[in-house]
Amino acid sequence: MTMAATLTAPLKILGPASFRTFRCLWMLEELGIEYEHLPLLPLSKEVKKYNPLRKVPVLITHPDGFVLYESAAINTYLCDLVQHPTMVPPPRTESRAIYDQTVSVIISELDAQGLWIQRKHEGMGDLFTFVPDAVTHARKYFHKTNRALIGQLKQPGPYLLGADFTAADVLYVHCLDWSKTIGWDEKWKDDAAVVRYMSLCKQRPAFRKVAAIRAQEIKASATRMRRQRMDGKASENGNNPHSKL
């Protein structure tokens, strides 16, 4: 019996699937752990209650209420929780050391020093200030870091740590997808090995399920925004359809 089998209630995971929460939802699906998904936004009062940084994802266990944030930490914990034999290599092994190294590079270099800089100082410049030079440098650094990861992927592949799909691949695929949405995929989109790798990972049922959740959330958000714009225009014209409710 795995440790997960002893859980008396589902775990809670906070954050929309369109954020880094995607990584944890994917892992939960891979592991077959029952969970409750609450798509709470970062910076919200509800999220601040559990994470002083007011970021998502946040994992809450039951019944003890143990709280954990940061996607890489959550995913490693989940794999250890169910004692999965390959998703995270066993401790005190060279494979675990390479896993930890790979995750550190993805999180602290590819994400934090590359993708997140673009998000902060271009995509969210109104909040964090626009810094074009920082974004330009971040893009170059992203490509430099990704070259090293692609080299690792090709030796011997097909996954980052070799024959087995691991929690490191969850992080990496999410980052590559992120880079594609902002047009930073020009250095890897035509690399045959990376294209095969992405296709292989995205064919996994767990990925496809969470991608569908994300698509539904994005569609619902677009509908709400469209309705708000319509209501705003109606209010300007003195004809708010909700004013009499």
Residues 77-94: pLDDT tens digits?
Answer: 999 999 999 999 999 999
Mean pLDDT across the stretch 159-176? 98
User: What is the C-alpha to C-alpha distance for residues 99 and 160, in angstroms, rounded to an integer?
Assistant: 9
- Work out the number of other CB atoms within 10 angstroms of the CB of residue 230: 12
Q: In this predicted structure, which of 1-5, 100-104, 162-166, 212-216 has the lowest mean pLDDT?
A: 1-5
pLDDT over 60 (residue 45): yes
166: left (phi over 0), alpha (psi -120 to 50) or beta: beta
Position 2 confidence tier, pLDDT thresholds 50, 70, 90 = very low
What is the rounded average pLDDT for all residues in the chain? Answer: 91
Residues 105-162: pLDDT tens digits?
Answer: 999 999 999 999 999 999 999 999 999 999 999 999 999 999 999 999 999 889 999 9
Position 225 confidence tier, pLDDT thresholds 50, 70, 90 = confident
pLDDT over 50 (residue 60): yes
- Provide the pLDDT for residue 67: 96
pLDDT over 60 (residue 4): no
pLDDT over 90 (residue 243): no
pTM of the model: 0.90
Q: How far is CA 221 from CA 140, 214, 216, 233, in A?
A: 32, 11, 9, 19
The CA R_g of the chain, rounded to the nearest whole Å, is 20
- Provide the pLDDT for residue 173: 98
Of the two residues 59 and 240, the one the predictor is more confident about is: 59
Task: Reduce the DSSP state of residue 13 to 3 states and report it.
Answer: strand
User: What is the C-alpha to C-alpha distance for residues 232 and 228, in angstroms, rounded to an integer?
Assistant: 6
- Provide the pLDDT for residue 153: 97
Q: How far is CA 199 from CA 121, 158, 173, 209, in A?
A: 31, 11, 10, 15
- Provide the pLDDT for residue 10: 85
Q: How far is CA 122 from CA 55, 136, 174, in A?
A: 19, 10, 20
